[in-house]
């Protein structure tokens, strides 16, 4: 499963903070694909682009319809120097492009100062006003909805889920386990939490086909089950390195020469909104410590309260009772017994 490293370049598919590191290139018609799903494109925009789109939507529609009203008035000869006594302008008190822009702004934002208004002698201007209110209303609903959708995305909630900087391998309950620590940084609960992993490594099939990335499932458990009812305390999830594990046969020496990436994903439901969120991180061999264990992070006070001290969240210590640290004879005996089970 895991192959030796050929260089010191540690490429990641997923960064430590959970972002995708894969660059998409040479896709034909990528712009059309993004425009076809315009809603997702707008929601995924960075905040600086979204704020620009939000403000420009209002400004451009005000200006565009202001220009249209100006041309309507020009076609009706409202801007000529001397007007006939019986001439009724399309829009009263609009003599310049600036005035037409202000009328468009007042109409779209329903300010309605009453100084500028459409007369009943110009059906075209009335039609354009109705068109403006309908069109811009739909545009504002779309942009405002995308703005709010980005604010309410579960992705922001996932940023308050903390993974340990290191993963450790040590013995637990007589089994060799790979452990990862996870914590919820908010007081609001995350329910139905489930941690899963994917081992990404180069692979050669039986037919001789080489694949740069081969995905293998890595199951994580907490105590006796794989699903946690709620995440309120810093918890440690573990994966047993048995014969069915993709890490089967892994040793401390092999760990330093392997080329793989372990992507760990936490899926949970937010108790407050019932929306699902997902947070992820990844570990390369240099971030997996052999023969280490996490230091305690949960302490009790004399008053009976529990305190989670995050100064110890990423700290590890050597397990002096770990069979991995015994002499070579004892180590070999334990490995043989473990392999024979």
* Pair 186, 331 in one domain: yes
Structural contact between residues 72 and 125, judged by C-beta atoms closer than 8 angstroms: yes
Sign of CA dihedral 324, 326, 327, 329: negative
With a pLDDT cut of 90, the percent of the chain lying above it is: 21
Q: Which of 105-119, 148-162, 274-288 has the lowest mean pLDDT?
A: 148-162
Mapping DSSP to helix (H, G, I), strand (E, B) and coil, where does residue 119 land? Answer: coil
* Pair 129, 219 in one domain: no
* Pair 187, 271 in one domain: yes
Q: Which residues contact 152 (CB under 8 A, 6 or more apart)?
A: none
The overall longest dimension of the chain from CA atoms, in Å, is: 114
- State residue 126 phi and psi, 5-degree precision: -65, -45
Give yes or no for residue 337 having a pLDDT over 60.
no
Q: Is residue 49 situated within a structural domain?
A: yes
Give yes or no for residue 338 having a pLDDT over 60.
no
Give yes or no for residue 205 having a pLDDT over 80.
no
The mean predicted confidence, pLDDT, of the chain is: 82
Side-chain half-sphere CA neighbours of 2 within 13 A: 22
Of the three residues 152, 175, 191, the one that is the final residue of a domain is 152
Distance of CA 172 to the CA centre of its chain: 33
* Pair 218, 115 in one domain: no
* Pair 17, 43 in one domain: no
DSSP single-letter state for residue 9: -
Q: Please report which confidence band the pLDDT of residue 83 belongs to, taking 50, 70 and 90 as the band edges.
A: low
* Pair 111, 163 in one domain: no
Give yes or no for residue 333 having a pLDDT over 60.
no
* Pair 103, 119 in one domain: yes
- CA–CA dist 116, 83 (Å, integer): 18
- What is the domain range of residue 336? 3-25+155-340
Give yes or no for residue 82 having a pLDDT over 70.
no
Q: For position 7, what pLDDT does the model report?
A: 45
What average pLDDT does the segment 300-315 reach? Answer: 86
* Residue scoring higher pLDDT (325 or 193): 193
* Pair 88, 198 in one domain: no
Which stretches within 180-276 are classed as H helix? 252-255
Q: Please report which confidence band the pLDDT of residue 324 belongs to, taking 50, 70 and 90 as the band edges.
A: low
CATH code assigned at 293: 2.60.40.1400
* Pair 103, 197 in one domain: no
DSSP 146-212: HHHHHHT-HHHHHTTEEE-S-EEEEEETTEEEEEEEEEE-SSS-EEEEEEEEEEEEEEE-TT--EEE
pLDDT tens-digit map of 152-168: 777 777 778 899 999 99
* Pair 102, 218 in one domain: no
pLDDT tens-digit map of 34-60: 888 888 888 888 888 888 988 898 899
Q: For position 168, what pLDDT does the model report?
A: 93
H or E element that contains 162: strand 161-163
* Residue scoring higher pLDDT (261 or 205): 261
CATH code assigned at 101: 1.10.287.70
* Pair 139, 265 in one domain: no
Structural contact between residues 116 and 94, judged by C-beta atoms closer than 8 angstroms: yes
Domain count, the chain: 2
What average pLDDT does the segment 246-254 reach? Answer: 88
Tokens 């609903």 found at: 141
Most confidently modeled range among 210-214, 217-221, 225-229, 331-335: 217-221
* Residue scoring higher pLDDT (239 or 328): 239
Q: Please report which confidence band the pLDDT of residue 341 belongs to, taking 50, 70 and 90 as the band edges.
A: low
Tokens of 12: 């990641």
Q: For position 47, what pLDDT does the model report?
A: 86
- CA–CA dist 128, 69 (Å, integer): 8
pLDDT tens-digit map of 160-192: 889 999 999 988 888 889 999 999 888 888 888
Of the three residues 89, 118, 152, the one that is the final residue of a domain is 152
* Residue scoring higher pLDDT (205 or 259): 259
pLDDT tens-digit map of 1-41: 455 554 455 678 888 888 888 888 777 777 788 888 888 88
């Amino acid at each position: 499963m895991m192959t030796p490293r050929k260089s010191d370049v540690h490429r990641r598919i997923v960064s430590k903070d959970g972002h995708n590191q894969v660059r998409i290139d040479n896709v034909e018609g990528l712009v059309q694909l993004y425009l076809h799903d315009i809603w997702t494109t707008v929601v995924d925009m960075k905040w600086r682009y979204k704020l620009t789109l939000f403000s420009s939507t209002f400004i451009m529609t005000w200006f565009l319809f202001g220009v249209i009203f100006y041309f309507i008035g020009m076609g009706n000869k409202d801007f000529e120097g001397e007007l006939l006594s019986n001439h009724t302008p399309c829009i009263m008190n609009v003599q310049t492009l600036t005035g037409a822009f202000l009328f468009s702004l007042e109409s779209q934002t329903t300010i309605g100062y009453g100084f500028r208004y459409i007369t009943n002698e110009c059906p075209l201007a009335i039609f354009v006003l109705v068109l403006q209110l309908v069109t811009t209303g739909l545009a504002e609903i779309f942009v405002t909805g995308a703005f709010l959708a980005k604010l309410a995305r579960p992705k922001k909630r996932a940023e308050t889920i903390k993974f340990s900087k290191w993963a450790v391998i040590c013995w637990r309950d007589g089994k060799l386990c790979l452990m990862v620590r996870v914590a919820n940084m908010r007081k609001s609960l995350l329910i139905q939490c489930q941690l899963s992993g994917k081992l990404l490594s180069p692979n050669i099939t039986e037919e001789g086909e080489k694949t740069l990335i081969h995905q293998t499932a890595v199951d994580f458990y907490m105590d006796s089950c794989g699903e946690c009812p709620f995440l309120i305390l810093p918890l440690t999830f573990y994966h047993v390195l048995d014969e069915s594990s993709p890490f089967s046969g892994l040793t401390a020496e092999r760990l330093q020469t392997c080329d793989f990436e372990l992507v760990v994903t936490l899926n949970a439901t937010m108790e407050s909104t019932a929306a699902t969120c997902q947070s992820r991180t990844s570990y390369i061999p240099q971030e997996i410590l052999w023969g280490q264990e996490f230091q305690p992070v949960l302490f009790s006070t004399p008053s009976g309260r529990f305190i989670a001290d995050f100064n110890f969240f990423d700290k590890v210590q050597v397990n002096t009772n770990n069979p991995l640290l015994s002499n070579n004879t004892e180590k070999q005996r334990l490995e043989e017994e473990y392999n024979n089970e």
